[in-house]
Structure 1
Amino acid sequence: MLKRFANQDVAKAVANIVWLGLERLTQIGVAIAISGMLARYLGPDVFGKWQYANTLLLVLAPITWVCGAEILVPTIVHRPPAQLGTVLGSAFVLRLSVSAAALLITWAGIAAGVTDPLVGAMLAGLAVTMLFREPFVGVINSWLQSMTYSKPQLLTSMTTALIKAALVYVLVRAAAAPARFSWLWAAESAAIGMVLMLYYIHRNGGKLGWHVDRSLFRHFATAGTVFWIGLICMYLFLKLDRLMLERAISFADLGRYSAAQQINENWIALALMLAQTIAPAFVYRVQDIAQLRRNMWRLTLMAAALMIAGAFVLDLLAHVIITGVFGPNFEAAIDIFRWAVWLSVPAGVEAIGNLVVLKYQAKFVLLSKWLFALAVAFVVNLLLIPRIGSYGALAGLAAGYLAAASVNLYYIRYKLRS
């Protein structure tokens, strides 16, 4: 063990994982604290509109994920250091172009009145994050990942998250208009982007040195398209429940449903973080098929056991958690939360199974899986939301997760057969 940690690459990877864990836990804690403050201040109806604006952003944001890290990081690693400026510059211009187009289309839709006026006012500020997240933060973060050194980005992200939480508290105390809060998210993304850009310039001898290469630009625009579309489908599936509920229930009820899902999604995020942490050692680096198959069954059972135990505890503490975080006006979310936490079981199992799909870069499997999950969830939502409201949306999510997990299982049995 000491010899392993004496290896510089392993030590860097372990340190990176520690920082990743700290950043995720900080983000989860800040997200819950901010949601609690806003829910108590805005009330269920306006909080529902705030959550719906965030849902729209999370559906739109994947459009800007062109040339993802799975394409950019290997390109940085395999190209000579002298070409770093060309690689990063080409990716930056591509992402900035797509992000600017997405922002302008979003603003045009808001101006045309396709959303509730207050939802549109909130989304107008939130959408600005698209202009900074992928072009600035995403490109620099890919460069840092190529060196297995994400500490600067993670430390900046943690710091700005804590500052944002403090500013939310200040605006709540000042009784600010609801739409003004969204600009804090825009300012946060701009601050992270600028800090990381300055860090890169400092590490690069005081100059940026980015250039655009047309052939590389075209390569980035087309490579990874299947993965990109698959990720868009995945995020659309994850937010489909709120998109369809908005048409069937009031914003107040949507706010209570979203409050329950806010806590639950942060719990599920821990399962995803666990999967990302253990993937390199137990999946990605394992070449022996028999050993990989054993690892996958053990990891799946471990994830299921962990999610069941966590869901059981959260179910018992539902009243304390919901009223403690969101206040007494959200008591109607307690029963929804008790059902929602059990979604973590199929979500955790799906996250583990997805590791094999990522290991073998099975892009068409990834796309097919989330298209299937999206279609199943849409049909279930269409049938059940008019009849049982929010519980129909939970049933749609459960059916979608099970559909995605079944595709993973089929692929694992095919790929890892003896």
Structure 2
Amino acid sequence: MLSLKRYANPDVKRAFANIVWLGLERVTQIAVAIVISGVLARYFGPDVFGKWQYANTLLLVLAPITWVCGAEILVPTIVNKPREELGTVLGSAFALRIGVSAAALLITWGGIAMGATDPLVGAMLAGLAVTMLFREPFVGVINAWLQSMTYSKPQLLASMSTAVVKALLVFLLARAAFAPASFGWLWALESAAIGAALVLYFRRQHGGKLGWHVDRALFKHFATAGTVFWLGLICMYLFLKLDRLMLERTISFADLGRYSAAQQLNENWITLALMLSQTIAPAFVYRVQQAAQLRRNLVRLFAMTAALMVAGALVLDALAGFIIGHVFGPDYAEAIGIFRWAVWLSLPAGIEAIGNLVVLKYQAKFVLLAKWLLALAVAFAVNLVAIPRLGAYGALVGLAGGYLAAACVNFYYIRFKLAS
């Protein structure tokens, strides 16, 4: 029987409070995503909405370029370094990220100027791409500091507030019949606002000063130590968006818009598993040194995640017709079946996310890279066969195959690592 003493443990209390805030933020983001998707889908129509979703897909393929020195490197470094070195750690990470992000933005704008995409897709992407300049250098660095303390409340509050404001602005711009390309700049404004809020919060917590400094040795360490992880994350996000990249070559933008409508809602749900794993990692995985305790924690986390994902998928499956019909309207009826199948991807995605924590804990960078290369290869091979035969449903089969391949690598590594 669990004792009251366990519930009084500061790490447990902090993690529980963090999960509560995480849940509130996810509910807010899901509600906002539903509102924004519905407004844009009805305003744009399936064809333009498909181009909007494809522009977002391109952004999410490009964004990992800015993830050099990701949280898997930065959070454990903050946890293990003395408190007085925090400014040097964050300053070195920021300098690296802002340089890479600026370069990625310029390259993206250059590609758009040279006509590498559909003109409307490129115009939408031009505004969306500005988010790269704020998300990782500002939001990402300070959020890593918050994650190291298992205290994400400031970031979650900023995210919830700006999401609501963004939804209101999307509605107003649609009512005013603004051009579709204008909407991308709202996402840039949102990322800038979150970054500014977190910088102000950090300064207030540190006597009104950032106190960030660049250390050449640490800068070089972040640039080199995270390279394999960085490549792994690029492969991961390419895997996650491979379905839309391959579908764009075989179906119309209107059909892509219907598929993306279902997947956008589903991805907000799946993100819950990823954020859940990030918020509990420091207390229940990263700081646990005994193999037996880590094994017990993992069993509980796997069970909790599986139960949560199954329960959520059952509800979303049952409400698929209601959600798609009321949010997107009759032009998106074909998305109902896609959504009903897509929500079940949350189960393998959640299990993979928990298993991935052990890979990150032991900094198994080559395992991470090999895992997502395998998932990408499996999804690509399955898509080549399944998409011509099953259309959009074939892309879901490819995602499922990739997630299962990644989860199998995690389980093999966990068994190997904990046994040794």
Tell me if both proteins adopt one fold, taking TM over 0.5 as the criterion. yes
Cα distance change, pair 221–282 in 1 and its aligned pair in 2 (3 A): closer
Structure 2 counterpart of 1:199: 201
The 2-side partners of 1:185 and 1:67 are apart by 24
Per-residue deviation, residues 61-84 of structure 1 (Å, max 9, x unmatched): 111011122322343344444443
Structure 2 counterpart of 1:382: 384
The 1-side partners of 2:304 and 2:200 are apart by 42
The 1-side partners of 2:7 and 2:302 are apart by 27
% identical aligned pairs: 80
Equivalent residue of 2:244, what SS?
helix
**Of 110-119 and 17-26, the range deviating more from structure 2:** 17-26
Structure 2 segments unaligned to the other structure (5+ residues): none
Q: Does 1:235 align with 2:237?
A: yes
Which AA in structure 2 matches 1:227? F
Structure 2 counterpart of 1:150: 152
TM-score using structure 1 length: 0.92
Q: Does 1:214 align with 2:210?
A: no
Equivalent residue of 1:67, what SS?
coil
Structure 2 counterpart of 1:271: 273
Cα distance change, pair 174–261 in 1 and its aligned pair in 2 (3 A): same
**Of 224-233 and 105-114, the range deviating more from structure 2:** 224-233
Q: Does 1:160 align with 2:162?
A: yes
Aligned residue among 241, 244, 247 for 2:246: 244
Structure 2 counterpart of 1:16: 18
Quote the offset at 1:271 in angstroms. 3.1
The 2-side partners of 1:10 and 1:300 are apart by 17
Quote the offset at 1:254 in angstroms. 0.2
Aligned residue among 403, 406, 409 for 2:411: 409
The 2-side partners of 1:220 and 1:194 are apart by 24
Quote the offset at 1:199 in angstroms. 2.5
Aligned residue among 325, 333, 347 for 1:345: 347
Structure 2 counterpart of 1:114: 116
Structure 2 counterpart of 1:324: 326
Equivalent residue of 1:128, what SS?
helix
Structure 2 counterpart of 1:54: 56
Structure 2 counterpart of 1:254: 256
The 2-side partners of 1:286 and 1:299 are apart by 14
In the comparison of the two structures, how many residue pairs are matched?
418
Cα distance change, pair 72–358 in 1 and its aligned pair in 2 (3 A): closer
Aligned partners of 1:122 and 1:179 also within 8 Å: yes
Aligned partners of 1:350 and 1:405 also within 8 Å: yes
The 2-side partners of 1:175 and 1:397 are apart by 36
Q: How does 1:62-77 map to 2 (within 5 A)?
A: 62-77=64-79
Quote the offset at 1:55 in angstroms. 0.6
Aligned partners of 2:142 and 2:202 also within 8 Å: yes
Aligned partners of 2:75 and 2:148 also within 8 Å: yes
Structure 2 counterpart of 1:97: 99
Aligned partners of 2:59 and 2:128 also within 8 Å: yes
Aligned partners of 1:201 and 1:207 also within 8 Å: yes
Structure 1 segments unaligned to the other structure (5+ residues): none
The 2-side partners of 1:18 and 1:316 are apart by 25
Aligned partners of 1:21 and 1:273 also within 8 Å: no
Per-residue deviation, residues 208-231 of structure 1 (Å, max 9, x unmatched): 333322222211211222211111
The 1-side partners of 2:326 and 2:171 are apart by 17
Equivalent residue of 2:63, what SS?
helix
The 2-side partners of 1:379 and 1:277 are apart by 34
Quote the offset at 1:266 in angstroms. 2.1
Aligned partners of 2:159 and 2:194 also within 8 Å: yes
**Of 319-328 and 385-394, the range deviating more from structure 2:** 385-394
Quote the offset at 1:134 in angstroms. 0.9
The 2-side partners of 1:8 and 1:303 are apart by 22
- Cα RMSD of the aligned pairs, angstroms, is 2.4
The 2-side partners of 1:78 and 1:302 are apart by 28
Q: How does 1:298-313 map to 2 (within 5 A)?
A: 299-300=301-302, 303-313=305-315
Cα distance change, pair 406–57 in 1 and its aligned pair in 2 (3 A): same
Structure 1 counterpart of 2:136: 134
Quote the offset at 1:389 in angstroms. 1.8
Quote the offset at 1:289 in angstroms. 4.1
Aligned partners of 2:124 and 2:184 also within 8 Å: yes
Aligned partners of 1:369 and 1:407 also within 8 Å: yes
Q: Does 1:44 align with 2:46?
A: yes
Which AA in structure 2 matches 1:97? G
